Structure 1
Amino acid sequence: MWARVKLDKGVAGNNRSVGEHLADWTRERAYSPVIELTGLPEAVETGLAKAGVALWKAAEAEAAAMMVRERLRMAEAIAAERDLRHEALGMVDAGEAVIEGLRAEIARHAAELEGMREHIRVVRAREFWPRMAQEIWEVLPEREAMHLTEITRRIGREFVKEAEEYPGDWGPALIRGVIDQRIKYRKLFAAADPGRYRRRRPEDDVAA
């Protein structure tokens, strides 16, 4: 606008000269200052503003409701997980109690079994050593004495094998113990020369 004034008048122009050209410009373009400047009606603007506020509040309410629902869902999930964990821990405790009970029962049965085994060993020993003494008596000649080493050598292999199940190393010392115990109670055997033994005779009891 100012450029046109300067072109026509040759001067920079003032409000008066500009006003004349502004009136011509608005007529040429059918310019309506009322419509262009006014915008939307006030009632519409007010309605839109209220609608915007209502929409914003509704969005906030929906977001808050969604947050509440999400918190409730998370709380329910955590509570369910906690219940499952407590249930699992309870099952573990119950399982450990059962295992501990079974261990105690096994230990009790093991002790009972060991007691039975010990009893069997005692019974078998009480049965074995008299048989061993009888075997020695049968090895000895009827009237002659025999050296301990020879007696040990002549005992049957089945007795040697069975003797390995009991305390003491197999050998003359073990056989001497069997013989000496019977001599102490005046049964089956009598001592002759050093290291030699014979069957016990009736006269041995008379002499005693």
Structure 2
Amino acid sequence: MKFCSECAHPVTQIIPPDDTRLRYVCTQCGTIHYQNPNMVVGSVPLWKADGETRVLLCRRAIEPRYGYWTLPAGFMENGETTSEAAGRETEEEAGARIELHQLFSLLNVPHVHQVHMFYLATLLDLDYLAGVESLEVKLFSEAEIPWDEIAFPTISHTLRFLFEDLARIRNGEGDFRFHTRDINKPMRQT
């Protein structure tokens, strides 16, 4: 940040007297410009057929990680709830109609100032298609997941949580759980 959004004067980074963190402060009008994490929200769209559960993934048509696979997700917009954001992103990226269920995973990614949230969802039909941010959209069983081509650590973790829960459910050991994880430093991307 270089200029105050209130008066357009240059800002300075200082720790305000009533704070403990470095903030952008306008020395002209005194406005403190707080910066907060971005919310990335999406869904884990599932399709059950022939005793097998498959998950819908999108191949990214944008950077970062062009060509890699991800769950349908994106930045939450002002004025929407997290569930509305998950539904909107699923429609935009995968053209998929879903029934949204419970919050499934929450991943804190402090080194990029983000919080990622994923809701479980059921695909209502198989009439999905790639949106402008996706090269293709495809259903995957656990054995078919292209693990080396997953775009982000938050997606890998959420998919692993999913398949761990599905294994427990098949063994009669409960239902889906809520999962959380802190990703404190970036995983090496190839």
TM surpasses 0.5 = no
Q: Which has the larger radius of gyration?
A: 1
Normalized per residue, which structure has more strand? 2
TM-score range relative to shorter protein: under 0.3
Normalized per residue, which structure has more helix? 1
TM-score in terms of structure 1 length: 0.22
